[in-house]
Structure 1
Amino acid sequence: MESMLKFISENKGFFVAVGYGVTSVSITFFNKAVLNYYNFNYSNALTLGQMIFSLFFLVLMKQMGKISYPDVNVDLCKKLFSLSLLFILMVVSGLAALAKTNVPLFSALRRLSTLVVILGEKMLLGKVTPADETQAVVVMVLGALVAGWGDVTFDFVGSIYILFNCVVTAGYLIYIAKKTKETGLNTFGLMFYCNILSMPATIVLTFITEWEGISTFTGYADLGFQFCFFMSSIQAFLLNYFIFLCSTLNSPLTTSITGQIKSILQTIIGLFMFGDVILSPLLIFGLVVSTLASFWYSFIKYAQTAARKITQSN
């Protein structure tokens, strides 16, 4: 038991990355089910529901003494306003894109965020990504673009949402690391402030754009819809927790790449689950290229880790 706990402690970053990947795959399909299978085409309302659940869990866990974070502070609100803005833009644009595109294309095009992270880390954090890592990411992105070109169900508006989501997701991942150092807040503190600062704007946005639809929606009594909405909201909390933890324990690029690797499983399941994918040679070729590039990057990171362990042992 002791050795098991030691192993987990020594490899905490790896387990956090796995947790992020598994949760990210699962929430994508629950979100897709809510938005399309149950025809709840109100992504802003779903975002609001996820925020409410996240705040509920954060406050409950604090009251139970399981976690700690500072109460609302004006200075912290000012410092974290930019992060909360990126947070709401990321969530809203991601759900809007998922509602308009099939899961494989959504997963493939979101790989563009990794390239944006590399550029952002260079400009904002002064971090230079090794050439072989950059090459793997470029191939990954090119494969995603080919897949998008070969998708006969291509939705222009949905693709614009995805591209915008890639940019704000990259900014969000980078700013997590930056704001953690600036504020000294732990993971739960950052989550609390992001949700509480984003909620007023989300309420207004939901009321303006979706009130008529959500007030006349007839599927609230459906147990399947209730389950999917509830699971989506719970996993939104877990996903944000793993994103924060992964970005602080590992790096923004590792977090982004973990997201791309989990997209492999997401893509395979998404090809058959909702029946909204029409296969074409270009689509298949692009998905294969992008997936192989993900494996290439994983091999590079494994080789780097192995080399560091050999150096440390010497």
Structure 2
Amino acid sequence: MADSQLALFSALISLLRRLGKLDDNIVLAYTLERGKKLSMLSLFYVSNVILALFALSGMNIPMYNAMRRCVPIASLLLGPCIYPQRTTSSIIMAIILITAGTITAAQGDLDFDFKSYTFGSLSVLTQALYLLTLQRMGSDNKLGSYKTSSAKTLTILYVNSVNCLPIVFAVVFLSGEYNSMKSYPHWSEPGFLFALGVVTSFACVFSYSIFLCTTVNSALTTACVGVIKSALTTIIGMYTFGGVAATPLLIIGQLINLSGGSLYTYEKYRLQKPASPKPTKKNSSIRPRKPKFTKTARNSSKTTF
């Protein structure tokens, strides 16, 4: 899915630019210089994709989504080294709750696999690194000048997609996934092609949303907001994909996760809410004093004839 998403987005942006539908005011063109400036971001991004595939080879999707909720604590710890962020005691408490819920849910996983959880932990680490690097890249204009935050996000996503595309295709060939894809029997079915196109398109929109949220807000916000999405995915996945037993520890972990995500959302809303002006005290019982007239003023007020 990652290779088709990167290929679709890169091809679509390149085609629209060639047809004149997109210009530099919307998305900047790809150049080798811009590609080099985003090399670190692309490295972390593609490492996260590869490690996630290795983790999912022995871990079910709901539990992997539950494990990804350790991204906030990784972002909080790595943030001062890459891009310092403002934190409060409530934000730290929310992230602790999210992490505690993840650990509790992992204890309730009856199919624990050490190798898969190791790859999952490395995937969490690289995801935190690429989100923090993305936030740092979004705070400056190293790729060029932008008129809107949307243009900046599209440019970073476009350059990153072109950078990662050759590496992802190489991994697909070397891992043998290409032979499995080639032998898939439903390539000629219109229904499968339609579903593949819809899923890939939504994946592009989802990636753009992540990049936009990170560049406009912060890496920590993107990680914490994703907790609610991951919790819902885990709950739905238990009844659709299967492979996860609804143990008491798993359910408790989900509730703790949602509590931490809700606390973080409220704290960010409270911090960004403009402070209301303090009302001025008005004492209406005090009457205005009458002006005092001096003796000279009273004499000058007399009319002379």
Indicate how the Cα distance of structure 1 residues 225 and 165 shifts in structure 2: closer, same or farther if over 3 A, else same. Answer: farther
Match of 1:178 in 2: 136
1:222 shift after superposition: 4.6
Structure 1 SS opposite 2:62:
helix
Out of 268, 280, 302, the residue aligned to residue 301 of structure 1 is 268
Match of 2:157 in 1: 191
1:220 shift after superposition: 2.4
How far, CA to CA, are the matches of 1:147 and 1:283 in structure 2?
4
How far, CA to CA, are the matches of 1:136 and 1:299 in structure 2?
10
Residue 167 of structure 1 aligns with an amino acid whose one-letter code is L
1:269 aligns to 2:255 (yes or no)? no
Match of 1:205 in 2: 171
Bigger helix fraction: 1
1:96 shift after superposition: 4.1
Match of 2:6 in 1: 51
**Equivalent runs, 1:132-147 vs 2, <5 Å:** 132-147=90-105
Structure 2 SS opposite 1:183:
coil
Indicate how the Cα distance of structure 1 residues 312 and 111 shifts in structure 2: closer, same or farther if over 3 A, else same. Answer: farther
How far, CA to CA, are the matches of 1:252 and 1:228 in structure 2?
31
1:160 aligns to 2:127 (yes or no)? no
Match of 2:52 in 1: 94
How far, CA to CA, are the matches of 1:139 and 1:203 in structure 2?
38
How far, CA to CA, are the matches of 2:279 and 2:42 in structure 1?
42
Match of 1:256 in 2: 223
Q: TM-score of the superposition, structure 2-length normalised?
A: 0.79
How far, CA to CA, are the matches of 2:188 and 2:245 in structure 1?
33
When the two chains are superposed, the root-mean-square deviation of aligned CA atoms in Å is 2.4
Indicate how the Cα distance of structure 1 residues 312 and 71 shifts in structure 2: closer, same or farther if over 3 A, else same. Answer: farther
How far, CA to CA, are the matches of 2:238 and 2:46 in structure 1?
28
| Preserved contact between residue 67 and residue 188 of structure 1 (Cα < 8 Å) | no
How far, CA to CA, are the matches of 2:109 and 2:182 in structure 1?
35
How far, CA to CA, are the matches of 1:93 and 1:310 in structure 2?
47
How far, CA to CA, are the matches of 2:186 and 2:171 in structure 1?
22
Match of 2:149 in 1: none
1:95 shift after superposition: 4.1
Indicate how the Cα distance of structure 1 residues 163 and 222 shifts in structure 2: closer, same or farther if over 3 A, else same. Answer: farther
Match of 2:32 in 1: 74
Indicate how the Cα distance of structure 1 residues 251 and 282 shifts in structure 2: closer, same or farther if over 3 A, else same. Answer: same
Residue 153 of structure 1 aligns with an amino acid whose one-letter code is D
How far, CA to CA, are the matches of 1:290 and 1:312 in structure 2?
37
How far, CA to CA, are the matches of 2:245 and 2:278 in structure 1?
50
1:219 shift after superposition: 3.3
Structure 2 SS opposite 1:50:
helix
How far, CA to CA, are the matches of 2:278 and 2:111 in structure 1?
51
How far, CA to CA, are the matches of 2:167 and 2:61 in structure 1?
28
Extract unaligned runs of 5+ from structure 1.
Answer: 1-45
CA shift digits 1:38-90 (9 cap, x unpaired): xxxxxxxx321111111122223333424533333232222111111112122
Match of 2:148 in 1: none
CA shift digits 1:135-186 (9 cap, x unpaired): 1101111110111111112233332232112111111111112223151452
Indicate how the Cα distance of structure 1 residues 67 and 244 shifts in structure 2: closer, same or farther if over 3 A, else same. Answer: farther
| Preserved contact between residue 28 and residue 155 of structure 2 (Cα < 8 Å) | yes
**Equivalent runs, 1:30-45 vs 2, <5 Å:** none
1:194 shift after superposition: 0.8
Match of 2:200 in 1: 233
Match of 1:127 in 2: 85
Residue 209 of structure 2 aligns with an amino acid whose one-letter code is F
| Preserved contact between residue 173 and residue 247 of structure 1 (Cα < 8 Å) | yes
Q: How many residues align?
A: 268
Indicate how the Cα distance of structure 1 residues 312 and 264 shifts in structure 2: closer, same or farther if over 3 A, else same. Answer: farther
Extract unaligned runs of 5+ from structure 2.
Answer: 145-151, 281-305
Residues 250-259 or 264-273, more deviating: 264-273
How far, CA to CA, are the matches of 1:258 and 1:59 in structure 2?
31
How far, CA to CA, are the matches of 1:311 and 1:176 in structure 2?
36
| Preserved contact between residue 58 and residue 188 of structure 1 (Cα < 8 Å) | no
Higher-Rg structure is: 2
Residue 253 of structure 2 aligns with an amino acid whose one-letter code is G
Match of 2:21 in 1: 65
